[in-house]
Amino acid sequence: IQNKRISYEEKKEKISHPIGKKLIDITLKKKTNLIVSADLIDTKNILKLVNLIGDRICGLKLHVDIINDFSYSFINYLKKISEEKNFLLLEDRKLGDVSSTNSLQLHYGIHKISSWADIVTVHLLAGSMSIQNLNIPSNMGLITISEMSSYGKLSNDNYIRKVLNISLKNPEVIGTVAQRKVDDRLLLFTPGIHFYKKENNVGNRYIHPIQAFKEKGSDFIIVGKAIFLSENPKMMAEEYRNAGWKAYENEL
Ligand code: 5IU
């Protein structure tokens, strides 16, 4: 019987970028493909969450520009925990401008994303050149956004195919967000994950981790509110970790 998907070990061989390989190593070591999206506006609550769930995740996704009391002591502390508990920091910045502006947004301003993030998300609306000459550190990777999880997303098949092609050609890209199977040389990240919700009232759509792996060929699930709004984030993180891992194993 032919395998339905390739394993993380096989995928690691096809990924050239060190941070892509590192993410897979963490996933295999901790048996988790769960990335938690900490969409919280206070550092205290982010750190509280991280202390509860750090052992269960391979990555923590942030929107640093929503944090009211952002500081470097917060980043340094988070970085320390991420090293102790072995997970990566993803900044979901969704850069979308021309290369020179993207570069300024990565390196400067209050957040100096390139000084701490392991991975940053980018839109390719401005074309392939928009992610050239960004001068990011060699151990920092990009995730392109080919296709969002929301209702009414504007990307069509042609756009998605073009983003995937550019992603494959740029060595700084470790993977993409899409709602479909992609080339084995890209890691596939799937936001919009919930055990039982199908949608929320502001346009996001949700699928179960099983669907993410079975139907979309996902490599990593991204879970936000289902975990951080729950009464017991630690327990929920373990449930999503376990569901994501089993869903992966079932596809082998
Ligand atoms: N996010 C999506 N869909 C996408 C992309 C990013 O929901 O296509 I690209 C973000 C938005 C939020 C997180 O930060 O992922 C999902 O959080 P919830 O699980 O709470 O919906």
Number of residues that make up the chain = 252
In whole angstroms, give the CA distance from residue 76 to residue 230.
27
pLDDT above 70 as % of the chain: 99
Reported as a single tens digit per residue, the pLDDT across 195-245 is: 999 989 888 999 999 999 999 999 999 999 999 999 999 999 999 999 999
CB of 224 sitting under 6 A from ligand 1: yes
Query: Which is nearest to 25 in space by CA: 8, 37, 10?
Result: 8
**Mean pLDDT, rounded, for 105-128:** 98
Distance of CA 174 to the CA centre of its chain: 10
CB of 35 sitting under 6 A from ligand 1: no
pLDDT at 36: 99
pLDDT at 2: 55
pLDDT at 1: 54
CB of 58 sitting under 6 A from ligand 1: no
CB of 222 sitting under 6 A from ligand 1: yes
In whole angstroms, give the CA distance from residue 95 to residue 168.
18
Quote the ligand 1 centre to 192 CA distance (angstroms). Answer: 6
Q: Which two tokens stand for residue 38?
A: 């900490």
pTM of the model: 0.98
**Mean pLDDT, rounded, for 123-140:** 98
Residue 29: which residues within 8 A CB-CB, separation 6 or more? Answer: 86
Contact 221, 227 (CB under 8 A): no
pLDDT score of 4 more than 90: no
Is 97 assigned a catalytic role?
Answer: yes
Q: 25, 42, 55, 97: which is the annotated catalytic residue?
A: 97
Is 94 assigned a catalytic role?
Answer: yes
pLDDT at 3: 58
